[in-house]
Amino acid sequence: MSVALLLRLILVVLLVAFLAEPQGFAPVFAPFAANGAPAVYTQSSLLSLTLSHLAMVAAATLAATIVSVGLAILVTRPAGREFLALSRSIANMGQTFPPVAVLALAVPVFGFGPIPTLIALFLYGLLPIFENALTGLTTIPPTVQEAARGVGMTDLQRLVSVELPLALPVILTGIRLTAVISLGTATIGSTVAAKTLGEVIIAGLTSNNTAFVLQGGLIVAVLALLIHDGFARLESAISRQRPMFA
């Protein structure tokens, strides 16, 4: 077993153990707690907050992936090339409006809760996936396209069996970037009553309890590392499995 794999396993075990029984780690965080303050956040279950946080990131990333890849497919077809500028403008929308600004605009319309956060994460995640999908679909060698046409593949068959499989590693890189960024960005959702790990961080900041801040921050950081590593390994595995025309 490699050292890197061993370290990842240790991180997973420690994270699961902490979420399952956080009070067992109270001595670790006690030096960072304010005078007389609890060392471990107990106002909400850390496990439920983590699952809610991950669910929100997964939902927003999935929605951003469907829209971004769909737009990339559209603008790389002959009939849709004229929509490239419009698609880029849509994908750039989330980068133009920071998540905090999106929350401020969405709360009066949708109220407090998870929906404003989901909208902010969705918009912010469009650009990396769209640009990577566009790059992946436009850098396929012409010889590969010609070979697929030569065996009688239709446009749809080429897209599904050749283009998307070849572009998938690059698309996954965009999804990985979006997922990792969204993990950190989602913490601001707690300012509008969304159930995320930002609740723990905000509680620590408002009560001057560094232990809470560390707990929320460390959980998000470990999740980001594990998800980043998981996607990177998936990209590497898919890159080794090339379609027959590659």
CATH number of the domain that residue 179 is part of: 1.10.3720.10
Torsions phi, psi for 27 (to 5 deg): -60, -30
Are the beta carbons of 192 and 10 closer than 8 angstroms?
A: no
CA distance 109 to 115: 10
Q: Does residue 245 lie within any of the structural domains? A: no
203 SS3 class: helix
Q: What share of the chain is helix, strand, coil (3-state, %, to 5)?
A: 80, 0, 20
Output DSSP code: residue 80.
G
Q: Does residue 89 lie within any of the structural domains? A: yes
Output DSSP code: residue 112.
S
Q: Does residue 129 lie within any of the structural domains? A: yes
Q: Does residue 9 lie within any of the structural domains? A: no
pLDDT over 70 (residue 147): yes
Q: Does residue 217 lie within any of the structural domains? A: yes
Q: Which of 15-19, 56-60, 86-90 has the lowest mean pLDDT?
A: 86-90
Q: Does residue 39 lie within any of the structural domains? A: no
CA distance 215 to 38: 12
Q: Does residue 30 lie within any of the structural domains? A: no
Query: Quick one: pLDDT band at residue 171, thresholds 50, 70, 90?
Result: very high
pLDDT over 70 (residue 242): no
Output DSSP code: residue 97.
S
pTM for the model stands at 0.91
Residue 206's domain comprises 46-239
- Work out how many domains the chain is built from and give that number: 1
pLDDT over 70 (residue 74): yes
